[in-house]
Amino acid sequence: MDNISFAERLTKLRMAKNVSAREMSFAIGLSANYINKIENKKTLPSMMTFFYICEYLNISQQEFFDENNENPEQLKQLVADLKKLDEKALTHITGIVKIILEKNL
């Protein structure tokens, strides 16, 4: 992932959380325009700051770099909920997902 992709990914994830760059900067203990600088491709975070960003977004570092996962926080919660279901319920949910996917293709 290059600087541009990193910045775009951060912007998407932050917007999905419905917070401003300024709010996020303050929440992780940085200056008001820090996240904005990353999103405008002027800087990259240190490794420690990247960990704080992921923690704030409630995602793992791996989930941050998984660009195919548009909503990592929601997907993580869905998987956690699915793990609580019995086999019969999972079979029904799987059927529903297949129908939805077929209609969207």
Q: What is the pLDDT of residues 83-93, one digit of tens each?
A: 999 999 999 99
Amino acid identity at 94: T
Predicted local confidence at residue 13, as pLDDT:
95
pTM: 0.78
In tens, the pLDDT along 28-37 reads 999 999 999 9
Amino acid identity at 63: E
How many helices (H) and strands (E) are present in the chain, helices listed first? 7, 0
Using an 8 Å Cβ cutoff, are 25 and 32 in contact? yes
24 vs 26: CA distance, rounded Å: 5
Predicted local confidence at residue 85, as pLDDT:
95
Q: Which residues of the chain have pLDDT under 50?
A: none
Predicted local confidence at residue 105, as pLDDT:
72
105 vs 97: CA distance, rounded Å: 12
Structure tokens, 97: 């997902």
